[in-house]
C-alpha cells in the first residue's frame, strides 16, 4: 500500500506538470482526489489493514493528499497568472499610434461672404429679414411698380408655377413684405435665393443669391445711400475702395443708379479683372419710388428711403478671383477646401 501511495503521488506530480489550463487542472484533481479518485480509493481500502498498519498508512495517505493539494494550488496560481498575462498582452493599447483625424467642415465661400456682408450691415444697425422663395406676382412685380407689360416679366426670365405664383426673380419683394408690417424707421437687409430661367454658363445660373437692402426714415436722401454703400465697400474691400454711381433705371426706385466699386485688383488703373475699366459694377440702387412706399403702407409725403440689391456670387467672384460661377454650385471639395 505504501508503494501504491508513492506511485499515486508520482503520477499526480507528473500529470500536474503537463497541465496548462484550468480545465485540465480540474480533471487532475478529480482523477486523484475526487470521490472516485485514485487516492480516495486507497483510503477506502484502509479498513482491511491491521490496527498497527493503519496509523502509519493513514499518515502517509494524508501526506500524499496534502502534497497533491499543495501542488494543485501551486498550479492553479500559475495557470491564472499565465491567463492574465495572455489577456494583458492581447489588450495592449499603443498610445503612441497617431489618432485618426476627422476632416473638419467649413462654410461655403458664398456663406462666408454673406456673413461678412451681414456683419458690416448689422454693425450699422440693420436687421436681417427673410421672404419666401416662392412668391406671388403681386410682391415680385406689381407692388414694385413693374407693370404687366414690363420686359422683366417675360417668360424667358421668370419661372412660373401658375399665372399668379412664381419663383422670385429678385429679393426686392421682401421690401414690400417688411414695409407692410414695420413702422419706419426701417433699416434692413434681406439675403436670399433668386431664380431666373437662364442657361448655365460661366456668369449665369438659374439659381443665385441677392442681398436686398432698405432704409426708410424721415429725411433720407441720396447722400445717405452713397455714404452707406461707401462704408460697406470699404468694410468689404479695404479703406482705399471707392464707389461711383451711374444713372440707371429700375421701376421701383427714382432716381436709380448702378453702383461701381474701384477695381480691387488694380485700384482703378485698369487690369484684366476690370477689363481695363478700373471699375466693377456690384449693385443696383436708388431712392424708393413714392408709389412703392404707398403700396407698402408708408406715406411718401412724410418718409423717404433708399434701396439696393447686390449679387452675392458676383461679389464673391471678385473677392476671390473666381472666373466661373458654376464652381460655387458644383460642390467639388477641391474647390471648397480652398476657402
Ligand atoms: N432687384 C434688382 C435686380 O434684381 C436689383 C435692385 C436694383 C434692387 C435697385 C434694389 C434697387 O433694391 O433699388 O436686378
Q: Show me where the domains of the chain are located.
A: 2-90, 109-336
Pocket test for ligand 1, best of 141, 153, 170 (most atoms within 8 A of CB): 170
pLDDT surpasses 90 at 111: yes
CB contact set of 278 (below 8 Å; sequence gap of 6+)? 262, 263, 266, 268, 269, 270
Which atom of ligand 1 has the smallest separation from the CA of 144? 1
The residue written with cell numbers 495517505 in the block is 61
Kindly report which listed range (72-76, 154-158, 169-173, 264-268) carries the lowest average pLDDT score: 154-158
- Residue 44 pLDDT grade (very low, low, confident, very high; cuts 50, 70, 90): confident
Decide: 312 in ligand 1 pocket, CB within 6 A: no
With a 6 Å cutoff on the Cβ, whether 305 touches ligand 1 is no
Say if residue 152's pLDDT is above 80: no
CATH of domain 109-336: 3.30.930.10
**Integer Cα distance of 52 and 105 in angstroms:** 93
Model confidence at 324: pLDDT above 90:
yes
For ligand 1, is residue 307 a contact (CB within 6 Å)?
A: yes
124 Cα to the center of ligand 1, angstroms: 21
Does pTM top 0.75 for this prediction?
A: no
Per-residue 3-state assignment (H helix, E strand, C coil) for the chain: CHHHHHHHHHHHHHHHHHCCCHHHHHHHHHHHHCCCCHHHHHHHHHHHCCCCHHHHHHHHHHHHHHHHHHHHHHHHHHHHHHHHHHHHHHCCCCCCCCCCCCCCCCCCHHHHHHHHHHHHHHHCCCEECCCCCEEEHHHHCHHHCCCCCCHHHCCCCCCECCCCEEECCCCCHHHHHHHHHCCCCEEEEEEEEEECCCCCECCECCEEEEEEEEEEECCCCHHHHHHHHHHHHHHHHCCCCCEEEEEEEECCEEEEEEEEEECCCCCCCCCCCCCCCCEEEEEEEEEECHHHHHHCCCCCCCCEEEEEEEEHHHHHHHHHCCCCCCHHHHCCHHHHCCC
- Atom in ligand 1 nearest the alpha carbon of residue 171: 1
Residue of 226, 308, 315 to mutate, ligand 1, most atoms within 8 A of C-beta? 308
Residue to mutate, 172, 253, 290, ligand 1, most ligand atoms under 8 Å from C-beta: 172
Q: Is the pLDDT of residue 43 over 70?
A: yes
Ligand 1 pocket residue status of 285, Cβ below 6 Å? yes
Is residue 195 within 6 Å of ligand 1 at its C-beta? no
Average pLDDT over residues 61-83: 85
Residue nearest to atom 3 of ligand 1 (CA): 170
Give the pLDDT band (50/70/90) at residue 155. Answer: low
Amino acid at each position: 500500500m505504501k508503494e501504491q501511495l508513492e506511485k499515486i503521488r508520482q503520477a499526480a506530480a507528473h500529470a500536474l506538470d503537463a497541465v496548462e489550463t484550468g480545465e485540465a487542472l480540474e480533471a487532475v484533481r478529480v482523477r486523484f482526489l475526487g470521490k472516485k479518485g485514485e487516492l480516495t480509493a486507497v483510503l477506502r481500502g484502509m479498513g482491511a489493514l491491521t490496527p498497527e498498519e493503519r496509523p502509519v498508512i493513514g499518515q502517509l495517505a494524508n501526506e500524499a493528499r496534502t502534497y497533491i493539494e499543495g501542488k494543485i494550488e501551486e498550479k492553479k496560481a500559475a495557470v491564472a497568472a499565465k491567463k492574465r498575462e495572455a489577456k494583458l498582452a492581447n489588450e495592449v493599447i499603443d498610445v503612441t499610434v497617431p489618432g485618426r483625424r476627422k476632416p473638419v467642415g467649413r462654410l461655403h465661400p458664398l456663406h462666408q461672404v454673406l456673413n461678412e456682408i451681414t456683419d458690416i450691415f448689422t454693425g450699422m444697425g440693420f436687421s436681417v429679414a427673410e421672404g419666401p422663395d416662392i412668391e406671388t406676382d403681386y410682391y415680385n412685380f406689381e407692388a414694385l411698380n413693374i407693370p404687366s407689360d414690363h420686359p422683366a416679366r417675360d417668360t424667358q426670365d421668370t419661372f412660373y408655377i401658375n399665372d399668379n405664383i412664381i419663383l422670385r426673380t429678385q429679393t426686392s419683394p421682401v421690401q414690400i413684405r417688411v414695409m407692410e408690417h414695420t413702422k419706419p424707421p426701417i433699416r434692413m437687409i434681406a439675403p436670399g435665393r433668386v431664380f431666373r430661367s437662364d442657361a448655365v454658363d460661366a456668369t449665369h445660373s438659374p439659381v443665385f443669391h441677392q442681398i436686398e437692402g432698405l432704409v426708410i426714415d424721415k429725411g433720407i436722401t441720396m447722400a445717405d445711400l452713397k455714404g452707406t454703400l461707401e462704408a460697406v465697400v470699404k468694410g468689404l474691400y479695404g479703406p482705399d475702395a471707392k464707389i461711383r454711381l451711374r444713372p440707371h433705371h429700375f421701376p421701383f426706385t427714382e432716381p436709380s443708379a448702378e453702383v461701381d466699386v474701384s477695381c480691387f485688383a488694380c485700384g482703378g488703373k485698369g487690369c484684366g479683372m476690370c477689363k481695363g475699366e478700373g471699375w466693377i459694377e456690384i449693385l443696383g440702387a436708388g431712392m424708393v419710388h413714392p408709389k412703392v412706399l404707398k403700396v407698402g403702407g408708408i406715406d411718401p409725403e412724410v418718409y423717404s428711403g433708399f434701396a439696393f440689391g447686390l449679387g452675392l456670387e458676383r461679389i464673391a467672384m471678385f473677392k476671390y478671383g473666381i472666373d466661373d460661377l458654376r464652381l460655387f454650385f458644383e460642390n467639388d471639395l477641391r474647390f471648397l477646401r480652398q476657402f
